[in-house]
Amino acid sequence: MPRITPNLWFDTESEEAAEFYVSVFPRSEIRNITYYTPAGPQPAGTVLTVDFVLDGQEYIAINGGPQFTFNEAISLMVDCADQDEIDYYWAKLSEGGQEGPCGWLKDKYGVSWQVVPGGMQDILNDPDPSRGERAMKAVFGMKKLDLAAIRAAADGA
């Protein structure tokens, strides 16, 4: 089966962004950096691509220029084990960026992330539709997700 590797297009910040992401996620590393040659289109010796791994998932970041920018149509989801992980990743990834609704944020490079608790689908798709509806309503009122508050809302508390 072919491997799928997300490729993130940056203007000129691919190495800086990869270093940042590697500092945030455990078991992460930069594996390779390639550079533009005199063939261009960027100046020879500047970073072309950065191959990196975040907790086992491979990525490539490219310095492609300002033609394309990130938007919310694509986001990276961080499936968190508990509230402590939600708090950690939310704080790290939103620093210098922008908080959005329902667990979404944009980091300082414009990449969209969803920082969510594991099992969120189970809460929202509860066999009792009223529990799922109450939980969903709570989520829509939050920026950073509060797992205890979502569970309390589902329980009608």
Report pLDDT digits (tens) over 53-90: 999 999 999 999 999 999 999 999 999 999 999 999 99
Between strands 57-63 and 104-106, the pairing is: unpaired
Q: Specify the CATH number for the domain of residue 10.
A: 3.30.720.100
- How many angstroms from the chain centroid is the CA of residue 130? 30
Residue 55: domain span: 1-68
- CB hemisphere CA count around 66 (13 angstroms): 0
Total number of domains constituting the chain? 2
Report pLDDT digits (tens) over 15-34: 999 999 999 999 999 999 99
Apex CA 95: angle with CA 89 and CA 101, to 5°? Answer: 70
State whether 23 and 49 are in the same domain: yes
State whether 62 and 87 are in the same domain: no
Angle (deg, nearest 10), helices 14-24 and 83-94: 160
In three-state secondary structure terms, 52 is strand
State whether 80 and 5 are in the same domain: no
Angle (deg, nearest 10), helices 147-154 and 83-94: 130
Picking from 24, 50, 68, the residue at the C-terminal end of a domain is 68
- CB hemisphere CA count around 48 (13 angstroms): 13
Predicted confidence at residue 102, as pLDDT, reads: 96
State whether 34 and 98 are in the same domain: no
Mean pLDDT of 145-156: 94
Rg over CA atoms, the chain: 18
State whether 151 and 132 are in the same domain: yes
Predicted confidence at residue 119, as pLDDT, reads: 84
State whether 76 and 46 are in the same domain: no
Q: Specify the CATH number for the domain of residue 88.
A: 3.10.180.10
